[in-house]
Amino acid sequence: NAGVTQTPKFRILKIGQSMTLQCTQDMNHNYMYWYRQDPGMGLKLIYYSVGAGITDKGEVPNGYNVSRSTTEDFPLRLELAAPSQTSVYFCASTNGPNTEAFFGQGTRLTVV
């Protein structure tokens, strides 16, 4: 009953470092999303994907990259970490346009 799994749960990066946030789902969902949530704020869409090999920008894509080589995996890449990227990152997946979204538990990232 894994659902959407995100790793790591916590990470501290230094300015300029890079890292990949992992997201895996075992529900065979075509649609996957990455969000960031700043303290006391709502969710902002970073990137999304409607199927393997297809990705598109959301509201705040700058400083991030994604890939979708398989249905299951949707990693988010930070190339040059900046303090403005300190946030909690959530991955989500859905089965179709009118179905519920399933969320991971989040990755709390701090850039110092």
Partner 1 sequence: GNSVTQMEGPVTLSEEAFLTINCTYTATGYPSLFWYVQYPGEGLQLLLKATKADDKGSNKGFEATYRKETTSFHLEKGSVQVSDSAVYFCAPKGRSPGGGNKLTFGTGTQLKVEL
Nearer to partner 1 (CB atom), residue 14 or residue 96: 96
Contact residue for partner 1 among 45, 52, 60, 67 (CB under 8 A)? 45
CA-based nearest residue to 109, from 6, 7, 11, 9: 11
Burial per residue of 78-88, b for 16 or more beta-carbon CB atoms within 10 angstroms, e otherwise: beebeeebbbb
Contact residue for partner 1 among 25, 36, 76, 104 (CB under 8 A)? 104
Report helix, strand or coil for 83.
helix
Q: What are the residues binding partner 1 (CB under 8 A)?
A: 4, 31, 33, 35, 40-43, 45, 48, 50, 56, 58-59, 90, 92, 94, 96-101, 103-106
